[in-house]
Structure 1
Amino acid sequence: MTDMIEKVRTEDAVGKPLIHDITSIRKDGFKGVLFKRNHIIQSDDIDKLKDIGKEHIYVGELEDNQVHEEDAILEIAPKIVDDNIEWGLPSEGKITFKSKVRGLFKVNEEAAFKLNSIEDYTFASISNNTVVDVGDKLIGGRIVPLYTTRDVVEEAKKISEENNPIYRVLKFYKKRVGIIITGSEIYSGRIKDMFEPMIREKLKFYGGEIVDVIFVPDDIDKLLESMRELLSKDIELLILSGGMSVDPDDITPTAIRNISSDIIFKGVPIQPGNMLTVGVLKKTYIVGVPGASIHSSKTSLDLLLPKIFSNSPVNKDEFIKMSVGGLL
């Protein structure tokens, strides 16, 4: 196959269209597009091009079986993401995907590997299971040469269609939440509770509606009574703080076992927050939060809440896999 694209001296390119974006990097820190694809080169452009080191320019046109870098990316873009992700027009051969909602970013890692294994295509994303907000950048895509072949594009389309969507954002949904704070020292007023303001701030971000907050002493009967009271109020998440260590007065894990129809896990290979305990009763998650959540900016709780509020299944195996990277 003979290319119909040729390299010519910049002076000889006047009157001809650029076949790709020309990027400029200036001393003042600017980096961006100096001339867009299909710009007709003018005589006034010659010095500007030479100022950025462009002594030669590619001109010409692609053959029928060749696909320009921008077109190759645009053909794939709608096939790899869900409706909660948007993208703009390519710039400098690259396309950026952004989140349209607040939620949990998910990647089909096996499919992403297959897509990136195709000749010429590259898609770089943020980490799987990352909490994102509206407008956050999620993925950058481009092909590495100026153009590719139609066969390569069709291969990428096939993988994308078979695995659609490869990249998703699971939107956070509002949920009714009940909170119980245990500890005789807090219940009696001997010390000030620090859990409630922390958990209120976290739940606000995710869209949690706090139905009630109840304080109870280290008495399992009173704790079980309070749990049943909140569960009767049609809550979707019950959070318990205090009494989560191995001390004899720590009764919260026992109460969670007594109330839950199933215990998903008791303890996780994540620090801080090893003692995180999760049970379920019908459609309500019951969560025992370790004390580390009060003092540490990020704990196992911060890996759990996004899954609950995005309606993702919570299972033990996934949290065990988090042990790699689980030292937060």
Structure 2
Amino acid sequence: MKLIKTQEAEGHVLCHDITQIIKGVTKDARFRKGHVVTKEDIPVLLSLGKDNLYVWEKDDTMYHENEAAEILKEVCQNTHMEASAVKEGKIELKAQCDGLFRVDVERLNAINDIDQVMIATRHTNTPVKAGDKLLGTRIIPLVIEKAKMEQVKEVAGERPLCELLPYRSLKAGIVTTGNEVFYGRIQDTFTPVVVKKLESYGIQVTEHVTLGDDKEKITEAILDMKEKGCDLIITTGGMSVDPDDQTPGAIKATGARVIAYGAPVLPGAMFCLAYFEDGTAIMGLPGCVMYAKTTIFDLILPRVAAGVPVTRRDLTRLGHGGLCLGCGTCHYPACSFGK
């Protein structure tokens, strides 16, 4: 650092906090360490009795923390994301729309392995609302070698580290199954739960039928909804291993490619997912979706709504974090479930 006259400080970086004291009003830092002095700051500094300042010596091989934060922001920022103004070397990104937030975790880890830089994000595949905070970036010291930031850009590559995928405008069909509902022995309390969750992602239910435990009719209903243009078809009930549970076989009989029947998630182990060749998804929902606040349905629906194909590997990897704790007050997605 070096000592310079305040009147010559424009563009220089302060090495220390500068406190402002107004009796009975405030005693706090008026300018923080790391602040870049502007032309407008100079009269204020002089009024605080600062005719001289300690500043960092300019070095063409170094970036100030604010400059480095801008580079980290550029590495992360994608469409539908809004950046905050840089403050004390930190920039945050917020969502500009509802959607699915995704992170290339491997590249994120590689960047955070570089000493003196940090990017902190939400978990990948997290559903977010417009205005939600997505991530924050900064470097640890006040200044950092330009060569190190070039390393960051090299590790990051050409694609932004993150993406926010808006939910698509989808039409859904629901096949409610079960003799107990079909014959009026009990009220259908399953379908309203599914409809409400679909609506929260802007998905319109355009088709709905209630059928008994008849494999052929369930298959026909799914195919009919596909023919009528449904982008997502959901079956409720009949997903267990009882003799009357015909839904998994009916889904398979449609000719759709079954990704998995069963997933390492509780609640939701008996979940089934299949895709037609054009990408239309079929979800077989187990009974837990009817009564549990958060289930595997809440983990997979945002991905389908955002147009992200779900693989068997995606499902099997849900096991780590796939145990819902059934908290008295549910905080999903601000919890560890599915992470």
What range describes the TM-score normalised by the shorter chain of this pair? 0.7 to 0.9
User: 1:42 aligned to 34, 45, 50, which one?
Assistant: 45
Does the CA-based 8 Å contact 2:169-2:202 persist in structure 1? yes
Aligned to 1:313: 309
SS, match of residue 172 in structure 2: strand
* Contact preservation (8 Å) 1:99, 1:138: yes
Q: Relative to structure 1, is the Cα distance of residues 240 and 144 closer, same or farther in structure 2, using a 3 angstrom cutoff?
A: same
Q: 1:58 to 1:167 in 2, by over 3 A?
A: farther
Deviation at 1:71, TM superposition (A): 0.7
Q: Distance in 2 between matches of 1:290 and 1:22?
A: 59
Q: Give the aligned partner of residue 27 of structure 1.
A: none
Matched, 1:245 2:248: no
Superposition deviation, residue 180 in structure 1? 0.8
Structure 2 counterpart SS, 1:218: coil
Amino acid at match of 1:85: M
Q: Distance in 2 between matches of 1:194 and 1:99?
A: 34
For the Cα contact (< 8 Å) 1:81–1:164, is it kept in 2? no
Change over 3 Å in CA distance of 1:128–1:33 after alignment to 2: farther
Question: How far apart are residue 294 of structure 1 and its match?
Answer: 1.1
1:288, distance to aligned residue in structure 2 (A): 0.5
Look up the match of 2:220: 225
1:3-59: per-residue Cα shift (whole Å, max 9, x none)? Answer: xx2489xxx9798567259699xxxxxxx984354233535547xx9xxxxxx9742
Letter of the 2:120 partner, please give it: A
C-alpha separation between the residues in 2 aligned to 1:94 and 1:115?
Answer: 16
Q: Give the drift of 1:268.
A: 0.3
Match of 2:98 in 1: 102
User: Paired residue for 1:214, among 209, 219, 222?
Assistant: 209
Worse overlay, 35-44 or 146-155: 35-44
The CA distance in 1 between the partners of 2:122 and 2:188, in whole Å, is 36
Match of 1:202 in 2: 197
Per the alignment, residue 299 of structure 1 pairs with 295
**Corresponding position of 1:117:** 113
Of residues 11, 19, 36 in structure 1, which corresponds to 2:13?
19
Shift of 1:86: 2.3
Partner of 2:72: 76
Matched position secondary structure for 2:234: strand
Are the counterparts in 1 of residues 83 and 93 from structure 2 also a CA contact under 8 Å?
yes
**Paired-residue identity, %:** 31
For residues 223 and 181 of structure 2, the distance between their equivalents in structure 1, rounded to whole angstroms, comes to 21
Distance of 2:321 and 2:282 partners within structure 1: 25
Unaligned runs of at least 5 residues, structure 1: 25-31, 50-55
Task: Give the Å deviation of 1:117.
Answer: 1.8
Aligned equivalent of 1:260: 255
Whether the aligned pair in 1 keeps the contact of 2:170 and 2:231 (CA below 8 Å) is yes
Give the counterpart of 2:270 among 267, 271, 275. 275
Q: How many residues end up aligned between the 2 structures?
A: 305
Aligned to 2:321: 325
- Tell me, in whole angstroms, the C-alpha distance in 2 between the residues paired with 1:177 and 1:167: 29
**1:42 is paired with a residue of what secondary structure?**
helix
Q: Deviations over 1:191-230 (max 9, x none)?
A: 2211222111211122212111111122223323322321
Closer/same/farther in 2, CA of residues 33 and 242 from structure 1, 3 Å limit: farther
> Unaligned regions of 5+ residues in structure 2, if any?
20-27, 325-339
Which whole-Å CA distance do the structure 1 matches of 2:234 and 2:184 have between them?
Answer: 21
Instruction: Answer whether contact 1:125 1:140 (CA < 8 A) is retained.
Output: yes
Shift of residue 290 of structure 1? 0.5
Q: How far is the alpha carbon of 1:60 from its aligned partner?
A: 4.2
Q: Distance in 1 between matches of 2:151 and 2:94?
A: 25
Name the SS of the counterpart of 2:319 in structure 1. coil
Q: Check the 8 A contact 2:72/2:138 in 1, yes or no.
A: no
Q: 2:151 aligns with which of 150, 155, 170?
A: 155
Question: Aligned match of 2:184 in 175, 184, 189?
Answer: 189
Say whether the 8 Å CA contact 2:72–2:119 is kept in structure 1.
no
Aligned-partner residue type, residue 45 of structure 2: Q
Residue 52 of structure 1 aligns with which residue?
A: none
The TM-score with structure 1 as length reference comes to 0.85
Mapped to 1, the partners of 2:2 and 2:132 lie a distance apart of 39
Q: Are residues 146 and 222 of structure 1, via their aligned partners in 2, closer, same or farther at CA, if it must alter by over 3 Å?
A: same
Change (3 A) 1:199 1:34: farther
Letter in 1 for 2:58: L
